[in-house]
Structure 1
Protein backbone atom coordinates (compact mmCIF):
# COMPACT_ATOMS: atom_id res chain seq x y z
CA UNK A 1 0.00 0.00 0.00
CA UNK A 2 2.87 2.34 0.87
CA UNK A 3 4.57 1.53 -2.41
CA UNK A 4 1.37 2.23 -4.35
CA UNK A 5 1.00 5.55 -2.58
CA UNK A 6 4.57 6.57 -3.31
CA UNK A 7 4.21 5.58 -6.95
CA UNK A 8 1.00 7.61 -7.26
CA UNK A 9 2.68 10.58 -5.61
CA UNK A 10 5.61 10.32 -7.98
CA UNK A 11 3.41 10.46 -11.06
CA UNK A 12 3.46 13.90 -12.73
CA UNK A 13 0.22 15.84 -12.56
CA UNK A 14 -1.74 15.79 -15.80
CA UNK A 15 -1.60 19.10 -17.68
CA UNK A 16 -4.74 21.25 -17.55
CA UNK A 17 -7.20 20.99 -20.41
CA UNK A 18 -7.29 23.67 -23.09
CA UNK A 19 -10.61 24.98 -21.76
CA UNK A 20 -9.33 25.19 -18.17
CA UNK A 21 -6.09 26.86 -19.23
CA UNK A 22 -7.92 29.34 -21.46
CA UNK A 23 -10.37 30.22 -18.68
CA UNK A 24 -7.49 30.70 -16.23
CA UNK A 25 -5.71 33.06 -18.63
CA UNK A 26 -8.95 34.86 -19.43
CA UNK A 27 -9.73 35.56 -15.77
CA UNK A 28 -6.46 37.45 -15.44
CA UNK A 29 -7.66 39.98 -18.02
CA UNK A 30 -10.09 42.28 -16.22
CA UNK A 31 -11.15 44.07 -19.37
CA UNK A 32 -12.03 40.78 -21.05
CA UNK A 33 -14.06 39.69 -18.03
CA UNK A 34 -15.98 42.97 -18.02
CA UNK A 35 -16.63 42.51 -21.74
CA UNK A 36 -17.81 38.94 -21.12
CA UNK A 37 -20.22 40.10 -18.41
CA UNK A 38 -21.68 42.77 -20.69
CA UNK A 39 -22.00 40.30 -23.58
CA UNK A 40 -23.76 37.79 -21.31
CA UNK A 41 -26.16 40.50 -20.14
CA UNK A 42 -26.98 41.47 -23.73
CA UNK A 43 -27.53 37.81 -24.61
CA UNK A 44 -29.86 37.34 -21.64
CA UNK A 45 -31.77 40.49 -22.61
CA UNK A 46 -32.14 39.16 -26.14
CA UNK A 47 -33.32 35.74 -24.96
CA UNK A 48 -35.85 37.08 -22.46
CA UNK A 49 -36.92 40.13 -24.49
CA UNK A 50 -40.58 39.14 -24.39
CA UNK A 51 -40.46 39.03 -20.58
CA UNK A 52 -38.28 42.09 -19.94
CA UNK A 53 -39.87 44.52 -22.42
CA UNK A 54 -42.69 46.47 -20.73
CA UNK A 55 -44.56 46.96 -24.03
CA UNK A 56 -44.71 45.56 -27.53
CA UNK A 57 -41.92 47.02 -29.67
CA UNK A 58 -44.41 48.01 -32.40
CA UNK A 59 -47.28 49.22 -30.23
CA UNK A 60 -47.99 52.93 -30.72
CA UNK A 61 -49.13 55.19 -27.91
CA UNK A 62 -50.37 58.20 -29.86
CA UNK A 63 -50.94 60.29 -26.74
CA UNK A 64 -47.25 59.90 -25.78
CA UNK A 65 -45.48 60.77 -29.04
CA UNK A 66 -41.86 61.85 -28.45
CA UNK A 67 -42.25 61.72 -24.70
CA UNK A 68 -38.88 62.31 -22.99
CA UNK A 69 -37.23 59.77 -20.64
CA UNK A 70 -38.64 59.30 -17.15
CA UNK A 71 -35.97 61.42 -15.42
CA UNK A 72 -36.67 64.44 -17.65
CA UNK A 73 -39.44 67.01 -17.37
CA UNK A 74 -42.60 65.58 -18.85
CA UNK A 75 -41.33 62.00 -18.64
CA UNK A 76 -43.13 59.00 -17.19
CA UNK A 77 -41.89 55.75 -15.68
CA UNK A 78 -44.36 53.96 -17.93
CA UNK A 79 -41.77 54.73 -20.65
CA UNK A 80 -38.39 54.84 -18.84
CA UNK A 81 -36.40 55.75 -21.97
CA UNK A 82 -39.17 57.81 -23.56
CA UNK A 83 -40.99 57.17 -26.81
CA UNK A 84 -40.15 57.66 -30.49
CA UNK A 85 -41.75 59.80 -33.17
CA UNK A 86 -44.88 57.60 -33.40
CA UNK A 87 -45.24 56.84 -29.70
CA UNK A 88 -43.47 53.47 -29.45
CA UNK A 89 -41.66 52.63 -26.22
CA UNK A 90 -37.90 53.10 -26.71
CA UNK A 91 -36.90 50.65 -23.98
CA UNK A 92 -39.00 47.87 -25.48
CA UNK A 93 -37.63 48.51 -28.96
CA UNK A 94 -34.02 48.50 -27.76
CA UNK A 95 -34.56 45.26 -25.82
CA UNK A 96 -36.10 43.54 -28.84
CA UNK A 97 -33.44 45.13 -31.06
CA UNK A 98 -30.81 43.23 -29.08
CA UNK A 99 -32.44 39.98 -30.20
CA UNK A 100 -32.45 40.99 -33.87
CA UNK A 101 -28.91 42.40 -33.89
CA UNK A 102 -27.44 39.39 -32.10
CA UNK A 103 -29.38 37.05 -34.38
CA UNK A 104 -27.78 38.72 -37.40
CA UNK A 105 -24.29 38.56 -35.90
CA UNK A 106 -24.52 34.96 -34.66
CA UNK A 107 -26.21 33.60 -37.80
CA UNK A 108 -23.61 35.24 -40.05
CA UNK A 109 -20.83 33.89 -37.84
CA UNK A 110 -22.16 30.31 -37.80
CA UNK A 111 -22.81 30.07 -41.54
CA UNK A 112 -19.50 31.80 -42.32
CA UNK A 113 -17.58 29.35 -40.14
CA UNK A 114 -19.28 26.27 -41.58
CA UNK A 115 -18.79 27.42 -45.17
CA UNK A 116 -15.33 28.83 -44.54
CA UNK A 117 -14.10 25.63 -42.89
CA UNK A 118 -15.23 23.49 -45.82
CA UNK A 119 -13.86 25.80 -48.53
CA UNK A 120 -10.64 26.54 -46.65
CA UNK A 121 -9.86 22.87 -46.03
CA UNK A 122 -10.66 21.97 -49.65
CA UNK A 123 -8.34 24.73 -50.88
CA UNK A 124 -5.52 23.60 -48.55
CA UNK A 125 -5.80 19.86 -49.22
CA UNK A 126 -6.65 19.83 -52.93
CA UNK A 127 -4.42 22.71 -54.00
CA UNK A 128 -3.67 23.36 -57.65
CA UNK A 129 -6.40 24.87 -59.79
CA UNK A 130 -9.08 24.48 -57.12
CA UNK A 131 -7.02 26.42 -54.59
CA UNK A 132 -6.15 29.12 -57.14
CA UNK A 133 -9.76 29.61 -58.25
CA UNK A 134 -11.14 29.73 -54.70
CA UNK A 135 -8.50 32.16 -53.48
CA UNK A 136 -8.84 34.47 -56.47
CA UNK A 137 -12.60 34.57 -55.90
CA UNK A 138 -12.02 35.41 -52.24
CA UNK A 139 -9.52 38.10 -53.27
CA UNK A 140 -12.14 39.54 -55.62
CA UNK A 141 -14.62 39.89 -52.75
CA UNK A 142 -11.94 41.41 -50.50
CA UNK A 143 -10.97 43.94 -53.17
CA UNK A 144 -14.31 45.74 -52.73
CA UNK A 145 -14.89 47.71 -49.49
CA UNK A 146 -17.22 45.84 -47.14
CA UNK A 147 -19.97 48.43 -46.96
CA UNK A 148 -19.94 49.12 -50.70
CA UNK A 149 -20.25 45.42 -51.52
CA UNK A 150 -23.04 44.98 -48.95
CA UNK A 151 -24.96 47.90 -50.43
CA UNK A 152 -24.57 46.50 -53.95
CA UNK A 153 -25.76 43.04 -52.92
CA UNK A 154 -28.77 44.33 -50.98
CA UNK A 155 -29.65 46.69 -53.82
CA UNK A 156 -29.74 43.71 -56.19
CA UNK A 157 -31.68 41.23 -54.04
CA UNK A 158 -33.80 43.78 -52.18
CA UNK A 159 -33.74 45.28 -48.67
CA UNK A 160 -34.92 42.98 -45.87
CA UNK A 161 -33.60 41.34 -42.73
CA UNK A 162 -32.89 38.01 -44.45
CA UNK A 163 -31.17 39.71 -47.39
CA UNK A 164 -29.06 41.71 -44.95
CA UNK A 165 -27.80 38.46 -43.46
CA UNK A 166 -26.99 37.12 -46.94
CA UNK A 167 -25.09 40.28 -47.89
CA UNK A 168 -23.05 40.39 -44.68
CA UNK A 169 -22.35 36.66 -45.01
CA UNK A 170 -20.90 37.08 -48.50
CA UNK A 171 -18.77 40.03 -47.39
CA UNK A 172 -17.26 38.25 -44.36
CA UNK A 173 -16.87 34.75 -45.82
CA UNK A 174 -13.33 35.32 -47.26
CA UNK A 175 -11.97 36.01 -43.77
CA UNK A 176 -12.82 32.51 -42.60
CA UNK A 177 -11.82 30.77 -45.83
CA UNK A 178 -8.37 32.36 -45.88
CA UNK A 179 -7.84 31.83 -42.15
CA UNK A 180 -8.72 28.12 -42.29
CA UNK A 181 -6.64 27.61 -45.42
CA UNK A 182 -3.58 29.29 -43.90
CA UNK A 183 -3.91 27.35 -40.64
CA UNK A 184 -4.41 24.05 -42.46
CA UNK A 185 -1.39 24.62 -44.72
CA UNK A 186 0.79 25.24 -41.67
CA UNK A 187 -0.41 21.96 -40.14
CA UNK A 188 0.05 19.81 -43.25
CA UNK A 189 3.83 19.88 -42.95
CA UNK A 190 3.83 18.56 -39.37
CA UNK A 191 4.74 15.03 -38.37
CA UNK A 192 1.36 14.00 -36.99
CA UNK A 193 -0.28 14.65 -40.38
CA UNK A 194 2.39 12.61 -42.14
CA UNK A 195 1.89 9.79 -39.64
CA UNK A 196 -1.88 9.87 -40.18
CA UNK A 197 -1.38 9.57 -43.94
CA UNK A 198 1.02 6.66 -43.47
CA UNK A 199 -1.48 4.65 -41.39
CA UNK A 200 -4.11 5.19 -44.08
CA UNK A 201 -6.38 7.89 -42.66
CA UNK A 202 -8.88 8.96 -45.32
CA UNK A 203 -8.90 12.52 -46.70
CA UNK A 204 -12.20 13.53 -45.08
CA UNK A 205 -11.18 12.24 -41.66
CA UNK A 206 -7.75 13.79 -42.11
CA UNK A 207 -9.30 17.19 -42.83
CA UNK A 208 -12.05 17.34 -40.22
CA UNK A 209 -10.77 15.10 -37.41
CA UNK A 210 -6.99 15.33 -37.60
CA UNK A 211 -6.19 18.82 -38.89
CA UNK A 212 -9.25 20.98 -38.12
CA UNK A 213 -9.05 20.75 -34.29
CA UNK A 214 -5.56 22.27 -34.45
CA UNK A 215 -6.91 25.22 -36.47
CA UNK A 216 -9.67 26.14 -34.01
CA UNK A 217 -7.89 28.68 -31.80
CA UNK A 218 -7.59 31.49 -34.40
CA UNK A 219 -10.98 30.51 -35.82
CA UNK A 220 -12.67 30.97 -32.42
CA UNK A 221 -11.14 34.41 -32.00
CA UNK A 222 -12.16 35.46 -35.52
CA UNK A 223 -15.68 34.18 -34.91
CA UNK A 224 -15.98 36.22 -31.71
CA UNK A 225 -14.79 39.43 -33.36
CA UNK A 226 -16.85 38.61 -36.46
CA UNK A 227 -20.08 38.90 -34.48
CA UNK A 228 -19.40 42.55 -33.69
CA UNK A 229 -18.32 43.25 -37.28
CA UNK A 230 -21.51 41.69 -38.63
CA UNK A 231 -23.59 43.63 -36.12
CA UNK A 232 -21.97 46.90 -37.22
CA UNK A 233 -22.39 46.05 -40.90
CA UNK A 234 -26.08 45.24 -40.42
CA UNK A 235 -26.56 48.45 -38.43
CA UNK A 236 -24.92 50.43 -41.24
CA UNK A 237 -27.24 48.86 -43.82
CA UNK A 238 -30.21 49.55 -41.56
CA UNK A 239 -29.10 53.16 -41.19
CA UNK A 240 -29.00 53.48 -44.98
CA UNK A 241 -32.51 52.02 -45.23
CA UNK A 242 -31.26 48.81 -46.86
CA UNK A 243 -31.46 46.50 -43.85
CA UNK A 244 -34.38 45.53 -41.64
CA UNK A 245 -37.44 47.55 -42.62
CA UNK A 246 -39.79 49.45 -40.27
CA UNK A 247 -41.37 48.71 -37.89
CA UNK A 248 -38.74 46.03 -37.12
CA UNK A 249 -36.85 47.23 -34.01
CA UNK A 250 -33.33 46.87 -35.42
CA UNK A 251 -30.84 49.31 -33.91
CA UNK A 252 -29.49 50.63 -37.21
CA UNK A 253 -32.98 51.14 -38.64
CA UNK A 254 -33.97 52.93 -35.43
CA UNK A 255 -31.10 55.36 -35.93
CA UNK A 256 -32.10 55.97 -39.54
CA UNK A 257 -35.72 56.78 -38.70
CA UNK A 258 -34.76 59.21 -35.93
CA UNK A 259 -32.06 61.35 -37.60
CA UNK A 260 -34.39 64.32 -38.04
CA UNK A 261 -35.08 64.42 -34.30
CA UNK A 262 -31.45 64.79 -33.26
CA UNK A 263 -32.08 68.27 -31.79
CA UNK A 264 -35.76 68.16 -30.85
CA UNK A 265 -35.80 64.64 -29.30
CA UNK A 266 -32.18 63.46 -28.91
CA UNK A 267 -33.06 60.41 -26.80
CA UNK A 268 -34.57 58.73 -29.88
CA UNK A 269 -31.12 58.74 -31.51
CA UNK A 270 -28.96 58.39 -28.41
CA UNK A 271 -30.19 55.13 -26.93
CA UNK A 272 -29.96 52.94 -30.07
CA UNK A 273 -26.50 54.39 -30.73
CA UNK A 274 -25.40 53.61 -27.18
CA UNK A 275 -26.75 50.07 -27.50
CA UNK A 276 -24.67 49.49 -30.63
CA UNK A 277 -21.57 51.09 -29.10
CA UNK A 278 -21.77 49.17 -25.82
CA UNK A 279 -22.39 45.80 -27.47
CA UNK A 280 -19.66 46.16 -30.11
CA UNK A 281 -17.05 47.41 -27.62
CA UNK A 282 -17.87 44.60 -25.18
CA UNK A 283 -17.57 41.91 -27.86
CA UNK A 284 -14.30 43.37 -29.18
CA UNK A 285 -12.75 43.65 -25.71
CA UNK A 286 -13.76 40.08 -24.91
CA UNK A 287 -12.46 38.90 -28.29
CA UNK A 288 -9.08 40.53 -27.69
CA UNK A 289 -8.88 38.92 -24.26
CA UNK A 290 -9.85 35.55 -25.71
CA UNK A 291 -7.10 35.84 -28.31
CA UNK A 292 -4.54 36.51 -25.59
CA UNK A 293 -5.91 33.65 -23.47
CA UNK A 294 -5.69 31.12 -26.30
CA UNK A 295 -2.12 32.20 -27.08
CA UNK A 296 -0.41 33.87 -24.07
CA UNK A 297 2.54 34.79 -26.29
CA UNK A 298 0.32 37.48 -27.83
CA UNK A 299 -0.15 39.29 -24.54
CA UNK A 300 0.88 42.89 -24.67
CA UNK A 301 3.58 44.05 -22.33
Structure 2
Protein backbone atom coordinates (compact mmCIF):
# COMPACT_ATOMS: atom_id res chain seq x y z
CA UNK A 1 0.00 0.00 0.00
CA UNK A 2 1.47 3.28 -1.08
CA UNK A 3 1.24 6.94 -0.20
CA UNK A 4 -1.51 8.97 -1.76
CA UNK A 5 -1.22 11.87 -4.16
CA UNK A 6 -3.13 15.15 -4.24
CA UNK A 7 -5.45 14.50 -7.19
CA UNK A 8 -7.90 11.65 -6.65
CA UNK A 9 -7.85 8.78 -9.12
CA UNK A 10 -11.64 8.52 -8.82
CA UNK A 11 -14.05 11.15 -7.52
CA UNK A 12 -17.78 10.47 -7.44
CA UNK A 13 -20.51 12.78 -6.19
CA UNK A 14 -24.23 11.98 -6.07
CA UNK A 15 -24.11 9.07 -8.51
CA UNK A 16 -27.59 7.75 -9.31
CA UNK A 17 -28.85 4.89 -11.45
CA UNK A 18 -32.24 3.23 -11.76
CA UNK A 19 -33.64 0.48 -13.95
CA UNK A 20 -37.31 1.27 -14.29
CA UNK A 21 -38.68 1.69 -10.78
CA UNK A 22 -35.74 -0.15 -9.22
CA UNK A 23 -33.18 2.23 -7.73
CA UNK A 24 -29.72 0.66 -7.93
CA UNK A 25 -27.50 3.62 -6.93
CA UNK A 26 -29.00 6.30 -4.73
CA UNK A 27 -26.60 9.24 -4.43
CA UNK A 28 -23.25 7.44 -4.20
CA UNK A 29 -20.19 9.48 -3.13
CA UNK A 30 -16.65 8.07 -3.47
CA UNK A 31 -13.11 9.46 -3.25
CA UNK A 32 -10.22 7.17 -4.22
CA UNK A 33 -6.64 8.52 -3.93
CA UNK A 34 -4.07 7.58 -6.53
CA UNK A 35 -1.86 4.56 -5.94
CA UNK A 36 -4.23 2.88 -3.47
CA UNK A 37 -6.67 -0.01 -3.33
CA UNK A 38 -10.30 0.89 -2.70
CA UNK A 39 -12.61 -2.04 -2.06
CA UNK A 40 -16.37 -1.83 -2.46
CA UNK A 41 -18.23 -4.44 -0.42
CA UNK A 42 -21.87 -5.31 -0.75
CA UNK A 43 -24.31 -8.19 -0.97
CA UNK A 44 -25.44 -9.53 -4.32
CA UNK A 45 -27.57 -6.84 -5.93
CA UNK A 46 -26.19 -4.01 -3.79
CA UNK A 47 -24.94 -2.12 -6.87
CA UNK A 48 -21.25 -3.02 -7.01
CA UNK A 49 -21.13 -4.17 -10.62
CA UNK A 50 -23.38 -1.31 -11.73
CA UNK A 51 -20.93 1.12 -10.12
CA UNK A 52 -17.99 -0.45 -11.98
CA UNK A 53 -19.87 -0.42 -15.28
CA UNK A 54 -20.67 3.28 -14.91
CA UNK A 55 -17.17 4.32 -13.82
CA UNK A 56 -15.65 2.36 -16.71
CA UNK A 57 -17.98 4.04 -19.28
CA UNK A 58 -19.89 0.82 -20.04
CA UNK A 59 -23.17 2.17 -18.65
CA UNK A 60 -24.64 5.64 -18.47
CA UNK A 61 -25.58 7.23 -15.16
CA UNK A 62 -28.88 8.97 -14.41
CA UNK A 63 -27.18 11.69 -12.40
CA UNK A 64 -24.09 12.75 -10.48
CA UNK A 65 -20.57 13.94 -11.25
CA UNK A 66 -17.66 11.58 -11.87
CA UNK A 67 -13.98 12.06 -12.69
CA UNK A 68 -11.63 9.15 -13.38
CA UNK A 69 -7.88 9.70 -13.78
CA UNK A 70 -8.57 13.45 -13.93
CA UNK A 71 -11.10 13.18 -16.77
CA UNK A 72 -14.79 14.03 -16.58
CA UNK A 73 -16.74 10.85 -17.25
CA UNK A 74 -19.61 12.57 -19.08
CA UNK A 75 -17.56 14.98 -21.21
CA UNK A 76 -14.37 12.93 -21.80
CA UNK A 77 -15.36 9.24 -21.99
CA UNK A 78 -12.65 8.44 -24.55
CA UNK A 79 -9.96 9.90 -22.29
CA UNK A 80 -11.32 7.85 -19.39
CA UNK A 81 -11.23 4.67 -21.50
CA UNK A 82 -7.63 5.37 -22.47
CA UNK A 83 -6.62 5.67 -18.80
CA UNK A 84 -8.35 2.60 -17.35
CA UNK A 85 -8.41 -1.17 -17.52
CA UNK A 86 -11.28 -3.46 -16.57
CA UNK A 87 -11.21 -7.07 -15.46
CA UNK A 88 -14.76 -8.30 -14.95
CA UNK A 89 -16.29 -11.20 -13.10
CA UNK A 90 -15.98 -13.39 -16.19
CA UNK A 91 -12.82 -13.82 -18.22
CA UNK A 92 -12.53 -11.90 -21.49
CA UNK A 93 -9.92 -14.37 -22.77
CA UNK A 94 -10.48 -15.93 -26.20
CA UNK A 95 -9.93 -19.60 -25.39
CA UNK A 96 -9.36 -20.54 -29.03
CA UNK A 97 -6.18 -18.43 -29.05
CA UNK A 98 -2.96 -19.07 -27.17
CA UNK A 99 -2.01 -16.91 -24.23
CA UNK A 100 0.53 -15.04 -26.35
CA UNK A 101 -1.99 -14.52 -29.15
CA UNK A 102 -4.51 -13.04 -26.72
CA UNK A 103 -1.91 -10.54 -25.53
CA UNK A 104 -0.79 -9.69 -29.08
CA UNK A 105 -4.41 -9.05 -30.01
CA UNK A 106 -4.66 -6.55 -27.17
CA UNK A 107 -1.41 -4.92 -28.28
CA UNK A 108 -2.86 -4.48 -31.78
CA UNK A 109 -6.07 -3.01 -30.35
CA UNK A 110 -3.96 -0.50 -28.45
CA UNK A 111 -2.13 0.37 -31.69
CA UNK A 112 1.28 -0.54 -30.31
CA UNK A 113 4.07 -0.84 -32.84
CA UNK A 114 5.19 -4.37 -33.70
CA UNK A 115 8.42 -4.16 -31.72
CA UNK A 116 6.88 -2.43 -28.71
CA UNK A 117 3.95 -4.85 -28.74
CA UNK A 118 6.21 -7.89 -28.69
CA UNK A 119 8.33 -6.46 -25.88
CA UNK A 120 5.27 -5.68 -23.79
CA UNK A 121 3.75 -9.11 -24.43
CA UNK A 122 6.99 -10.84 -23.42
CA UNK A 123 7.25 -8.74 -20.26
CA UNK A 124 3.67 -9.49 -19.23
CA UNK A 125 4.03 -13.21 -19.89
CA UNK A 126 7.06 -13.21 -17.62
CA UNK A 127 5.43 -10.97 -14.97
CA UNK A 128 2.38 -13.26 -14.73
CA UNK A 129 4.34 -16.51 -14.87
CA UNK A 130 2.79 -17.52 -18.19
CA UNK A 131 5.88 -17.80 -20.38
CA UNK A 132 5.93 -21.61 -20.46
CA UNK A 133 2.23 -21.74 -21.31
CA UNK A 134 2.37 -18.85 -23.82
CA UNK A 135 2.06 -21.11 -26.87
CA UNK A 136 -0.77 -23.26 -25.50
CA UNK A 137 -4.46 -22.59 -26.20
CA UNK A 138 -6.10 -20.70 -23.37
CA UNK A 139 -8.70 -23.48 -23.24
CA UNK A 140 -6.04 -25.64 -21.55
CA UNK A 141 -5.36 -23.08 -18.78
CA UNK A 142 -6.44 -23.53 -15.17
CA UNK A 143 -8.79 -21.03 -13.56
CA UNK A 144 -5.93 -19.19 -11.90
CA UNK A 145 -3.96 -19.00 -15.15
CA UNK A 146 -7.00 -17.62 -17.00
CA UNK A 147 -7.45 -14.88 -14.38
CA UNK A 148 -3.75 -13.98 -14.61
CA UNK A 149 -3.96 -13.85 -18.40
CA UNK A 150 -7.12 -11.75 -18.21
CA UNK A 151 -5.39 -9.22 -15.95
CA UNK A 152 -2.27 -9.26 -18.12
CA UNK A 153 -4.46 -8.37 -21.10
CA UNK A 154 -5.84 -5.45 -19.12
CA UNK A 155 -2.29 -4.22 -18.49
CA UNK A 156 -1.25 -4.15 -22.14
CA UNK A 157 -2.53 -0.58 -22.34
CA UNK A 158 -0.60 0.52 -19.19
CA UNK A 159 -3.73 1.79 -17.38
CA UNK A 160 -3.56 4.27 -14.50
CA UNK A 161 -6.72 2.88 -12.89
CA UNK A 162 -7.84 -0.75 -12.94
CA UNK A 163 -11.33 -1.93 -12.06
CA UNK A 164 -11.32 -5.46 -10.70
CA UNK A 165 -14.87 -6.74 -10.40
CA UNK A 166 -14.79 -9.85 -8.17
CA UNK A 167 -11.50 -10.98 -9.74
CA UNK A 168 -10.93 -14.08 -7.61
CA UNK A 169 -14.41 -15.60 -7.65
CA UNK A 170 -14.10 -19.36 -8.13
CA UNK A 171 -10.34 -19.51 -7.60
CA UNK A 172 -8.71 -21.94 -5.19
CA UNK A 173 -6.96 -20.42 -2.13
CA UNK A 174 -3.46 -20.60 -3.67
CA UNK A 175 -4.56 -18.91 -6.92
CA UNK A 176 -6.41 -16.28 -4.92
CA UNK A 177 -3.29 -15.42 -2.94
CA UNK A 178 -1.24 -15.30 -6.15
CA UNK A 179 -3.70 -12.73 -7.48
CA UNK A 180 -3.44 -10.73 -4.25
CA UNK A 181 0.32 -10.48 -4.68
CA UNK A 182 -0.11 -9.28 -8.26
CA UNK A 183 -2.47 -6.55 -7.02
CA UNK A 184 0.05 -5.47 -4.36
CA UNK A 185 2.81 -5.28 -6.98
CA UNK A 186 0.62 -3.15 -9.27
CA UNK A 187 -0.17 -0.70 -6.48
CA UNK A 188 3.51 -0.51 -5.52
CA UNK A 189 4.12 0.60 -9.11
CA UNK A 190 1.59 3.43 -8.73
CA UNK A 191 -1.54 1.88 -10.24
CA UNK A 192 -4.88 2.57 -8.55
CA UNK A 193 -7.13 -0.46 -7.97
CA UNK A 194 -10.91 -0.27 -7.57
CA UNK A 195 -11.86 -3.68 -6.24
CA UNK A 196 -15.29 -5.18 -5.76
CA UNK A 197 -15.38 -8.45 -3.90
CA UNK A 198 -17.59 -10.81 -1.94
CA UNK A 199 -14.59 -12.18 -0.06
CA UNK A 200 -14.21 -10.20 3.16
CA UNK A 201 -10.71 -11.56 3.77
CA UNK A 202 -9.71 -10.18 0.36
CA UNK A 203 -10.77 -6.64 1.25
CA UNK A 204 -9.08 -6.93 4.64
CA UNK A 205 -5.82 -8.08 3.03
CA UNK A 206 -5.64 -5.61 0.14
CA UNK A 207 -7.65 -2.45 0.68
CA UNK A 208 -6.34 0.87 1.93
CA UNK A 209 -9.97 1.94 2.31
CA UNK A 210 -13.23 0.02 2.21
CA UNK A 211 -16.73 1.18 1.34
CA UNK A 212 -19.83 -0.80 2.31
CA UNK A 213 -22.65 -0.51 -0.20
CA UNK A 214 -26.20 -1.36 0.85
CA UNK A 215 -29.27 -0.81 -1.36
CA UNK A 216 -27.41 1.69 -3.51
CA UNK A 217 -26.05 3.80 -0.66
CA UNK A 218 -22.62 3.93 0.90
CA UNK A 219 -23.41 3.12 4.53
CA UNK A 220 -19.82 3.20 5.80
CA UNK A 221 -16.30 3.99 4.59
CA UNK A 222 -12.87 3.81 6.20
CA UNK A 223 -9.87 1.59 6.74
CA UNK A 224 -10.57 -1.98 7.80
CA UNK A 225 -9.54 -1.16 11.36
CA UNK A 226 -11.73 1.96 11.47
CA UNK A 227 -14.75 -0.03 10.35
CA UNK A 228 -14.09 -2.80 12.86
CA UNK A 229 -13.88 -0.30 15.73
CA UNK A 230 -17.35 1.00 14.85
CA UNK A 231 -18.95 -2.35 15.62
CA UNK A 232 -19.67 -3.53 19.18
CA UNK A 233 -19.20 -7.14 20.14
CA UNK A 234 -15.54 -7.41 21.11
CA UNK A 235 -15.01 -9.70 24.08
CA UNK A 236 -12.60 -11.84 26.05
CA UNK A 237 -13.50 -15.49 26.58
CA UNK A 238 -12.30 -17.03 29.83
CA UNK A 239 -12.43 -20.78 30.46
CA UNK A 240 -12.06 -22.32 33.92
CA UNK A 241 -11.13 -25.72 35.31
CA UNK A 242 -14.24 -26.03 37.51
CA UNK A 243 -17.48 -24.36 38.57
CA UNK A 244 -15.81 -22.83 41.61
CA UNK A 245 -13.50 -20.69 39.45
CA UNK A 246 -16.34 -19.82 37.07
CA UNK A 247 -18.62 -18.68 39.90
CA UNK A 248 -15.87 -16.67 41.60
CA UNK A 249 -15.03 -14.82 38.38
CA UNK A 250 -18.70 -14.18 37.64
CA UNK A 251 -19.12 -12.48 41.04
CA UNK A 252 -16.42 -9.91 40.30
CA UNK A 253 -17.04 -9.47 36.57
CA UNK A 254 -20.59 -8.14 36.61
CA UNK A 255 -21.07 -7.73 32.84
CA UNK A 256 -19.82 -11.20 31.96
CA UNK A 257 -22.07 -13.75 30.24
CA UNK A 258 -21.63 -17.31 31.52
CA UNK A 259 -21.59 -20.53 29.50
CA UNK A 260 -22.00 -22.99 32.33
CA UNK A 261 -21.67 -26.14 30.25
CA UNK A 262 -18.34 -24.96 28.80
CA UNK A 263 -17.16 -23.51 32.15
CA UNK A 264 -16.55 -20.21 30.32
CA UNK A 265 -17.30 -16.52 30.63
CA UNK A 266 -17.67 -13.96 27.84
CA UNK A 267 -16.48 -10.55 29.08
CA UNK A 268 -17.15 -7.42 26.94
CA UNK A 269 -13.85 -5.84 25.89
CA UNK A 270 -12.35 -3.66 23.19
CA UNK A 271 -9.35 -6.00 23.07
CA UNK A 272 -6.87 -3.27 24.05
CA UNK A 273 -3.83 -4.03 26.18
CA UNK A 274 -5.10 -1.72 28.91
CA UNK A 275 -8.45 -3.50 29.21
CA UNK A 276 -6.73 -6.90 29.25
CA UNK A 277 -4.34 -5.80 31.99
CA UNK A 278 -7.29 -4.53 34.04
CA UNK A 279 -9.18 -7.81 33.61
CA UNK A 280 -6.18 -9.98 34.48
CA UNK A 281 -5.46 -7.76 37.50
CA UNK A 282 -8.99 -8.26 38.82
CA UNK A 283 -8.61 -12.02 38.56
CA UNK A 284 -5.09 -12.06 40.08
CA UNK A 285 -6.17 -9.93 43.05
CA UNK A 286 -8.60 -12.69 44.03
CA UNK A 287 -6.30 -15.56 43.04
CA UNK A 288 -8.76 -16.83 40.45
CA UNK A 289 -7.05 -19.18 38.03
CA UNK A 290 -8.01 -19.21 34.36
CA UNK A 291 -7.32 -22.24 32.17
CA UNK A 292 -7.67 -20.42 28.85
CA UNK A 293 -8.05 -16.82 27.67
CA UNK A 294 -8.90 -15.76 24.12
CA UNK A 295 -9.63 -12.33 22.65
CA UNK A 296 -12.26 -11.71 19.98
CA UNK A 297 -12.49 -8.39 18.17
CA UNK A 298 -15.07 -7.66 15.44
CA UNK A 299 -13.96 -8.59 11.94
CA UNK A 300 -15.28 -7.54 8.55
CA UNK A 301 -17.93 -10.25 8.75
CA UNK A 302 -19.31 -8.49 11.84
CA UNK A 303 -19.04 -5.11 10.10
CA UNK A 304 -20.89 -6.33 7.04
CA UNK A 305 -23.68 -8.04 8.98
CA UNK A 306 -24.16 -5.04 11.25
CA UNK A 307 -24.28 -2.51 8.41
CA UNK A 308 -26.37 -4.53 5.95
CA UNK A 309 -28.69 -6.26 8.37
CA UNK A 310 -31.70 -6.05 6.07
CA UNK A 311 -29.99 -8.03 3.29
CA UNK A 312 -31.01 -11.36 4.79
CA UNK A 313 -31.42 -13.20 1.54
CA UNK A 314 -28.13 -11.99 0.13
CA UNK A 315 -24.66 -12.96 1.13
CA UNK A 316 -21.02 -12.08 1.24
CA UNK A 317 -18.82 -15.15 1.37
CA UNK A 318 -15.57 -15.92 3.09
CA UNK A 319 -13.03 -18.44 1.84
**What's the TM-score, normalizing by structure 2?**
0.24
The TM-score, its normalising length taken from structure 1, stands at 0.25
> Comparing both chains, which one has the higher relative contact order based on Cα–Cα distances under 8 Å and sequence gaps of 6 or more?
1
More helix by share: 1
